[in-house]
Amino acid sequence: MSNNNLKFGILTLIIIVVISGVIFYNNNKQGDDKLIIKEDKFIKEDQFKQKDNNLSKQEKESNYGLGIGNYAPEFSLDDLTGEEVSLSDFRGKYIMLNFWASWCPPCRKEMPDLDQFYQENKDQFVVLGVNIGEDKKTVKKFINDRGYNYPVLLDQSRQLSFVYRASVIPTSYFIDQEGKIQYIKRGLVSKSELDQIKKNLMNRE
How confident is the model over 172-194, as pLDDT tens digits?
999 999 999 999 999 999 999 99
- From residue 101, alpha-carbon distances to 156, 182, 201 in Å are 11, 24, 26
Instruction: Give residue 46's pLDDT.
Output: 41
How confident is the model over 104-163, as pLDDT tens digits?
999 999 999 999 999 999 999 999 999 999 999 999 999 999 999 999 999 999 999 999
- Of residues 159, 154, 151, 148, the one with CA closest to residue 108: 148
**% of the chain beyond a pLDDT of 90:** 67
Q: What is the dihedral of CA 119, 121, 125, 126, to 10 degrees?
A: 10
Instruction: Give residue 182's pLDDT.
Output: 96
In sequence order, the 6+-apart residues with CB closer than 8 A to the CB of 185 are 171, 172, 174, 193, 197
Instruction: Give residue 204's pLDDT.
Output: 77
Query: Looking at the predicted structure, is the pLDDT value of residue 94 above 60?
Result: yes
Query: Looking at the predicted structure, is the pLDDT value of residue 36 above 50?
Result: no
